[in-house]
Amino acid sequence: MKITNAKVIVSCPDRNFVTLKINTDEGVYGIGDATVNGRELAVVAYLEEHLIPCLIGKDPQNIEDIWQYFYKGAYWRRGPITMAAISAVDVALWDIKAKMAGLPLYQLLGGKSRNGILVYGHANGSNTEEVVEQVGQYLEKGYKAIRVQCSVPGVQDSYGVSSKDKTFYEPASSDLPTECSWNSSKYVQFIPGVFAKLRDTYGYEPEFLHDVHHRLTPIQAAHLGKLLEPYRLFWLEDAVPAELQEGFRIIRKHTTIPLAVGEVFNSIFDCTTLITEQLIDYIRTTATHAGGITGIRKIAALAEPFHVKTACHGPTDISPVGMAACLHFDLAVPNFGIQEFMLHTEKINDVFPNQYQLNNGYASLNDVPGHGADIDEKQAAKYPYQRKFLPVNRLEDGTMWSW
């Protein structure tokens, strides 16, 4: 069996997506997601110029060898652009293998380890009352776990809060990046009160999560963790920028709040200290950014004996193809924790027909061969690429900060 050609499709149905389609001489094709939000065309160039020419003629069945060929063979290893490109190749190859076998992908990963995939939604509001109301709406829909974000009084821009007219909660801009303004101490003082109110209103059964989005220092994060402990959070996410894995030792020393990190990681080497020292509880690497199914399986296998669970990143900038790949992984992996699951718009689902659904707080998959997600190229062609930037962030005195 041989790969005959591969193409990259970029489309913007409400937001940009980079999709890889690999064709074979047996007529079976595979689809992978290579979207890096705000840096899309860098991945396109990487795929078109450096990976696709080497793919032609290779046997698509040799997934591990092709993964190693692009990983070790790059010389310039790792990094979000390289690894997103490898991810898309890998997911497309797993899709081909599963289609050839006539099986849903999760069967090739060891079969079902659970009946349903626990997911979390994203509630937000411009004040505590709005948040409480939105959390109530999620609970009514059957969600068991909800991530909660709230505007902080006196702070211009809080993470994860959408203005009413926006489809997505990250404000992507077509002009230059929007400049946000941030104040960590006002945030740390305010946010525990939101969770106090939520527990008062809904009790202690629902799972609540919170994303700091890399905005604190380790000691500030440790303090916030302590303040949040009484409200039994499922996790505190991205408490600090994770380049410094050792920073988590400080947080861990001071608080028992469960910690999640890794949505921007792209390889196992980004998380070895965090996992082997048991400094975190959930690893958030995803099939689109951390080397596809092959990459996240390696990370999950490292994490399993250290009691670290998986929690794939699943914002709307992961396409339905990336989401489908993660859901197959989630169903099979022994140390599954939870899956982030943001609903895509109708336009996006029209471009990417898929075979997963949400019921009562759990995602499930239809048993079709492959990962079940596809790209409708005619639909995709209706929505050409538009350059978009994620925001940047500054402290109130103008110092650059993490967004």
As beta bridge partners, residue 364 has 357
Dist. CA 241–CA 213, nearest whole Å: 8
* Residue 315 contacts ligand KDG per CB under 6 A: yes
> Which of 211, 270, 281, 330 touches ligand KDG by CB under 6 A?
211
Residue 344 a catalytic site member? no
As beta bridge partners, residue 21 has 7, 31
**Tokens of residue 163, six digits:** 């203005």
Partner interacting with residue 128 (select from Mg ion, ligand KDG, none; CB below 5-8 Å by kind): none
Q: How far is the CB of 92 from ligand KDG (least distance, A)?
A: 21
Residue 159 a catalytic site member? yes
H or E stretch at 322? helix 320-332
> Which of 90, 207, 211, 330 touches Mg ion by CB under 5 A?
211
As beta bridge partners, residue 150 has 125
Dist. CA 9–CA 32, nearest whole Å: 10
Residue 315: how many other CB atoms lie within 10 Å: 18
Choose the catalytic residue: 213, 313, 344, 371.
213
Q: Which amino acid is at 318?
A: I
Q: How far is the CB of 340 from ligand KDG (least distance, A)?
A: 6
Q: How far is the CB of 74 from ligand KDG (least distance, A)?
A: 24
* Residue 37 contacts ligand KDG per CB under 6 A: yes
Residue 176: how many other CB atoms lie within 10 Å: 8
Of 96, 94, 20, 5, which Cα lies nearest the Cα of 57? 5
* Residue 281 contacts ligand KDG per CB under 6 A: no
Stretch that binds ligand KDG, among 183-191, 269-277, 312-320, 327-335 (CB under 6 A): 312-320
**DSSP letter assigned to residue 53:** H
| Residue 19 or 24 with smaller CB distance to ligand KDG | 19
| Residue 88 or 98 with smaller CB distance to ligand KDG | 88
As beta bridge partners, residue 370 has 104
* Residue 340 contacts ligand KDG per CB under 6 A: yes
Residue numbers annotated as active site? 159, 213
Residues binding ligand KDG (CB under 6 A)? 37, 170, 211, 213, 263, 313, 315, 317, 340, 390
